[in-house]
Structure 1
Amino acid sequence: MTAGSLQIETSQGDLRDLTACAPAYGPEAQALLARIQAVLPQFNDEFLTRFYDGLHGRAETQAILARLDSEDFVRLHGKQAQHLERLLSPEISAEEHYRHAKQVGRVHEMVGIGLPTLLDAYHRYRQQVQDVVAACPLTPGERELFDRTLMQRVIIDVEGQGVAHHDVGVEVAAAISRVHRQVQEAETLPDLLQGIVEALLAVDGIVACFFLRPDARGTLQIEGIGGEAGRRYVESMRRQEIPLIQVDADSASGQGPTGRAWRSGTIQHCVSYLRDAAVTPWREVGAKLGFRSSVAVPLLDDAGQSFAVLTICSNWPGFFVTGTRSSMLLYLQQVLGHAILRCEQGAVLPVAVRETYRQRLMGGGIEMHYQPIVDLRTGAVSHVEALARLRGADGQIHAPGSFLPALGRSDLLHLFREGLVQACRALREWERSGRTPAMSINLPADALTHDAYRDALLQTLAREGVRPDRIQLEVLESRDPYDLDRRDASIAALQRLGVRIAQDDLGSGHSSLLRMDNTPFDVVKIDQGLVRNAARDPKRALEFIFHLTSLAHGFGVPVTVEGLEDRGLIEAVAILGADQGQGYVVAKPMPAAEFPAWCAGFRYDIDVHTPRTPLGALAGYLIWDQQRAALAKWPDLVARFTRFPCLVRRYIEESGLRGSELEALLDENHRLAKDGGAQEAFQRTRQDLVTLLGSAWTQQRASRSAA
């Protein structure tokens, strides 16, 4: 502040010119205020009593006061009493007054006292303090100076409190912006949750955040925590000092806002943590941690059903019912549901379990197992997929589906590095026994646009002495990356070095068919979920596999089918034209030391020209029927085509089924096919044939499972 001027810097760095108010802090004003200080303390106490009595009489402020317990009320009353003393203090400077006004304004905003209420209070305060000072022996000039000083200081005070209200709104807007950025950028659920709670904790007044999902027993497990108070709260739950939250309305621990939010699908408030009977089971611990209000935001799926709850706690009563924060809550509910459903969620993992998995990951608990992938024409092992396992402190082995949902981006990079090192050393060890398969290893969804993965790959290969052409990277993209050019450039650079890139889980819903056209993959892998569907609908599953294989081959890309668990499946996909197969029927994932012995004992006896299983015969029939349909416009060609034996005929001969119902049905089907296959009788025999072969295969599977 320069002489004769008053410019105050706002929170945004702007300068507010309040020079007109500068005399209120000058020598004359200070001397006058020093003379009348004796009458002000008692007046301030009386004014605050009347002020709060007035608030009790106004509908818009009754609710605010009802949220305050005696301790909160004393705290608020004390801060306002101190502020009124500073308002007419002869020692205070303009800058100090402005700073204190902002602090008090922030308190008012937190509890919901808006600027209109404050302006009304200052108007009444100014009138009443003038009446008190009227009894003081002041000259007319001094009285005019006092009135002017009071007005100018009230202007500074209102300005500071108004800026504080604005600042809180800016903080909420900044938090929403950070949430939006996290929603756009986060690839994993742990990263998304961490980013969300960090954004919310940056809002003054928020002291804890919790992300909860129900387990199979209906207990809402806390999977994400924010804030030191939040961590201590969860520790109290672990020590059973407070109960876990239930979704059941009949349980006392399901009556709080979080349980209600889950059941209702609507945002639920606890405006006064110390007065709300519904939070009684948790009140003592929460109050010690400073909780004064909370809100539970249910996150909804596309059907409008709750699948998770975000609970946020504040150290101010009624904190979440004001306009800016109510809008923030609605935004969170709208965007977080879709964002979290987009992430691979996996099973419900309480925070303690998540931390245990991460500690084991960083503590050397990763063990790579290896599953062979065979050429479906020759039976030779084409390459091996490295699959991560996590060994717990108790020696138990955990599959990826258990621990991967607990890992964030940095954890996944560590997993990739460690897995790649082990895989490279396995390759070198196998070379000593004359085995030289290529190695396939999985990449997280966003790895191709992050240099850290490329650097880890190239540095590890160089250090371990493994050529890049021995490596295949399997990429599952949960969504298209933002920088497609960077992804494609990364793929091209790796392919120039000899690294092969595979599109994983084709047909899963995540792995788009469009990527086969947009991205130059070296291999595509058909999702094992499609293969598993064969148990429910064999024909539909085989048709999916056939058409996906044909599509990939149309792009010149070989196809690997995952999840082959019995002979019928591997025979069927081989007949349908898939190039490579992987699954338990070939081998289960195994430690590196077991691979050479497995290779020595493995025998592959699939003959795509002579099926030995009903499912293989069904695959052969589907191909035959498609070829027949392609010739339908030329009846003479159809007649000649049907004279040649199809694979079902060879299956009948190989399996000793001459004279069976299957052979009779096949003969009738082929006879009707000569007439073009459009008639109803042909379609009926076609359906009966498909059903009979599919049922025979499912019965075989059931018999083997029972055995």
Structure 2
Amino acid sequence: MFAPPDVLTGDDPEIVQLYGCRHVQYMAALQADVRKAAGRVADQFQRKLRKLPSLTRLVDSLSARELAEFKSAQARELVALACPDLTEQSHASAARATGLRNAILGVSREEIADGFGLLLASLHEELNTHRHAAAFCTLGRRIVRELTLQFQVYAELQGSRNEVLAQVTHLAWTVDSYTDLIHSVMRIIGAHAEVAGCCVGRPDSEGFFHYESVFGPQTEDYINALEKDARQRISIGDQPQGRGPTGRAWTNRRIEQSINLATDPAVATWRSRALAAGFHSSVAIPLCTPDEEPRAVLALYRKLPGGHSNEQVAFVQQLQSLLAFALERIEDRNGRSSTIPYATRKKWSALLRSDCLEMHYQPILDLETGAISSVEALARLRGGDELLTPGQLLPACTSEDLLELFMRGLEQATRNVSRWRAAGFAIKVTVNLPPVALADSRYFEHTRQTLEAASCPPHALMLEILETEDVPAGVEIRRELDKYRRLGVGLAQDDLGAGYSSLARLRDLPFDCIKIDRGIVSRADQDPCDMLKFASQLIRLSHSMGKSVTVEGIENPALLEAMAILGADRVQGFAIARPMSARQLDAWLACAVVPALPDPARPSSRLGKLAQLLIWEESLRMLALAKSQTRRLSARGPFSRQVSTTSKADDVEDLIDPLLKELSNSLPNLADDISRMQLVTAVIRYGVESWQYLRARRRLVDRIADGA
């Protein structure tokens, strides 16, 4: 009945013949009759649409009001197609708008073509086709043009879907935080023409959903209203608030759709607010694979009913797969973050950009000089009576929030350290540099400008980098760090022992200082010996690479004493001072309230004695190893061929044995004489690897633990 949709294009000269004065007379007569019959034609058209299986579900979902509006719109469009004054531009604009509406409704191309066929059939039944033969011919050609224009919109919309998926794919492989992922996804999906609003969120520990990122003012108002109304607050469970698309998606672990919010009984709880926001259909997407619990739910809202076409379903399924993968990758690295509502995130972001950021400072004690050598700047965000710590704030920060936090924090820190140095306190300040900074030149440029503006010497600033494993792919870490080194600032690897730090990174990257994570020393209560061994090895390793060592988390004098014995350069923690504001630090520095350095030769605490035992034992092992290696060389190597009547190996052993005995007999006064002598005897008679020695060692450790 119709020519193929691509017969007429915008460059076809025949298009011009569809419009203009030559059609005015006979199209005017047709339009007059169409206007009279439009209502009846629309009625017939609706009845025939119900017979199309693919459209039955959509048509049946429409309310009486929506059916009336659909009928009225169909009549207006029919009259407009028969308009004698129709222009190419006005037709194109109207057809594209109709095409977008049909695509959002989920009407397929085939259904559109079938629908126009039914429409023309209804017109033929209602009007005199002989009287309007010429006009019907023009109308048919205009309908073909209409199809072409609508199908162009379909192609463009599918291209837009593909672009959205391409951008989300990039995010799925590159973004390393939950907050950045959901913030970026909302921006990308929210700009898509089919989407009137979108949000993503998770239930809290009580099962109530909190949406954490929202796109669109209507969506924001809608979500805020739901969270404030206990009767409408979305939750998990077998109650009305849990039976909507979002609750079912979480519970059933499958995509749940409401093709018409005006008539779907499952959304009655939220219907009035949703319709007031301009939402007429929705889809809730659990972000998970079929065999696991969802990590979050993505909700998409449309301004029209429908959304069930094959293309729309495939689009939603691909979004689900990509985002489920992204969340799994992020949580495998970072763990699952706590749920933070969107309103809270928005409030904190606004506070961060006001004057509510306060940098607090924790002193760091130099174990060689006994002086405060530096302070670490720690961010605090004041919101009324609440003072947020980084542990609360950082999970809610986007990459732009992190940049704002760094810039404002660095400005405060450099101004204060310049003031303290001018007052005679030769201290440095350390500031955390997020790993993403190595992929963002704004961090370096702001560091340079801030040092100049604050008249702060670069060597008075130390930048701490937490985990360079999180640096985006493609970044040359050494080159980026070298930029800061050339600027003159110090660099510290923060939290050694907490994550993925490798020996290659410690060796190759230009760090001046290594900070041992507080999580290492926090194990002192569970297994002090194991903690001390681990800390000792980290300190020796860092020193062997020419880097100084600061140990974090020193919360009591015993830990301070132990770390001094193990050879740490600096310590930081509550045993020295708690973080304090700049004004509080002014007073603290003026009073010189610094703890006295412990005497490593005379430990008084249990932990200090165990640290001294460890150092003594390591020396013992080194001498025993030297003796063993000497014997091996004398038996197998060229060393054995160079001996005469007196073996050089024997000469070396003659030097080592007295050292072993002297070291054995010089065991520090760590416990009672009997326990010490049992250990010394076991070393001299049986060796440091013997079971006799290990048994005697256990006894000594137990006696130290008992305070003997």
Give the alignment's TM-score, normalised by structure 2. 0.83
Q: Deviations over 1:96-116 (max 9, x none)?
A: 323322221211111111111
Match of 1:445 among 427, 430, 435: 435
CA distance in 2, matches of 1:157, 1:69: 27
Change in Cα spacing, 1:535 to 1:48, as seen in structure 2 (3 Å) is: farther
CA distance in 1, matches of 2:51, 2:497: 66
Aligned match of 1:580: 570
Q: Deviations over 1:235-261 (max 9, x none)?
A: 3236437532223x1443222222233
CA distance in 2, matches of 1:632, 1:272: 79
Aligned match of 2:596: 604
The alpha-carbon deviation at position 171 of structure 1 amounts to 2.2
The alpha-carbon deviation at position 622 of structure 1 amounts to 4.7
Change in Cα spacing, 1:648 to 1:332, as seen in structure 2 (3 Å) is: farther
Q: Secondary structure at the match of 1:643?
A: helix
Match of 2:416 among 409, 426, 431: 426
Match of 1:59 among 53, 62, 77: 53
Q: Give the conservation status (yes or no) of the 8 Å contact 1:435–1:596.
A: no
Q: Give the conservation status (yes or no) of the 8 Å contact 1:265–1:305.
A: yes
Match of 1:212 among 182, 193, 201: 201
Q: Deviations over 1:619-655 (max 9, x none)?
A: 44555555666645845869766535579942524xx
The alpha-carbon deviation at position 310 of structure 1 amounts to 2.3
Q: Give the conservation status (yes or no) of the 8 Å contact 1:236–1:242.
A: no
The alpha-carbon deviation at position 577 of structure 1 amounts to 3.6
Q: Is the counterpart of residue 650 in structure 1 residue 671 in structure 2?
A: no
Query: Please, which runs of 5 or more residues in structure 1 have no aligned partner?
Result: 1-6, 701-707
Aligned match of 2:525: 535
The amino acid of 1:390's aligned partner reads L
CA distance in 1, matches of 2:285, 2:692: 59
Aligned match of 2:192: 203
Change in Cα spacing, 1:126 to 1:251, as seen in structure 2 (3 Å) is: closer
Q: Give the conservation status (yes or no) of the 8 Å contact 1:427–1:439.
A: yes
CA distance in 1, matches of 2:616, 2:680: 14
Q: Is the counterpart of residue 349 in structure 1 residue 367 in structure 2?
A: no
Q: Deviations over 1:572-630 (max 9, x none)?
A: 33444432221112221123344466452323333344443333344445555556666
1:163-562 alignment, distance < 5 Å: 163-183=152-172, 189-237=178-226, 239-240=228-229, 243-247=232-236, 249-300=237-288, 304-319=292-307, 322-338=312-328, 341=331, 347-394=338-385, 396-431=386-421, 433-477=423-467, 479-485=470-476, 487-509=477-499, 511=501, 513-562=503-552
Match of 2:11 among 17, 21, 46: 17
Aligned match of 2:150: 161
Give the alignment's TM-score, normalised by structure 1. 0.84
Change in Cα spacing, 1:411 to 1:21, as seen in structure 2 (3 Å) is: closer
Match of 2:79 among 74, 80, 85: 85
Q: Which 10-residue stretch deviates more, 351-360 or 106-115? A: 351-360
Aligned match of 1:3: none
Change in Cα spacing, 1:107 to 1:356, as seen in structure 2 (3 Å) is: closer
CA distance in 1, matches of 2:164, 2:243: 29
Q: Which 10-residue stretch deviates more, 287-296 or 546-555? A: 546-555
1:84-123 alignment, distance < 5 Å: 84-123=78-117
Q: Deviations over 1:517-547 (max 9, x none)?
A: 4421111212222332343344444444334
Q: Which 10-residue stretch deviates more, 385-394 or 636-645? A: 636-645
The percentage of aligned residue pairs carrying the same residue is 30
Q: Secondary structure at the match of 1:17?
A: coil
Aligned match of 1:704: none
CA distance in 2, matches of 1:331, 1:659: 68
Query: Please, which runs of 5 or more residues in structure 2 have no aligned partner?
Result: 632-652
Q: Secondary structure at the match of 1:319?
A: coil
Q: Secondary structure at the match of 2:17?
A: helix
The alpha-carbon deviation at position 157 of structure 1 amounts to 1.4
CA distance in 1, matches of 2:261, 2:554: 56
CA distance in 2, matches of 1:538, 1:694: 12
The alpha-carbon deviation at position 513 of structure 1 amounts to 4.8
The amino acid of 1:393's aligned partner reads G
Q: Give the conservation status (yes or no) of the 8 Å contact 2:21–2:85.
A: no
CA distance in 1, matches of 2:66, 2:617: 80
Q: Deviations over 1:334-354 (max 9, x none)?
A: 344246536797543323333
**Number of equivalenced pairs:** 671
Q: Secondary structure at the match of 1:272?
A: coil
Q: Deviations over 1:350-383 (max 9, x none)?
A: 2333333334333322222221212334433221
Q: Give the conservation status (yes or no) of the 8 Å contact 2:365–2:572.
A: yes
Q: Is the counterpart of residue 670 in structure 1 residue 659 in structure 2?
A: no
CA distance in 2, matches of 1:694, 1:201: 65
The alpha-carbon deviation at position 476 of structure 1 amounts to 2.1
Q: Give the conservation status (yes or no) of the 8 Å contact 1:104–1:161.
A: yes
Output the aligned Cα RMSD: 3.7
The alpha-carbon deviation at position 500 of structure 1 amounts to 0.4
Q: Is the counterpart of residue 616 in structure 1 residue 604 in structure 2?
A: no
Change in Cα spacing, 1:98 to 1:434, as seen in structure 2 (3 Å) is: closer
Aligned match of 1:703: none
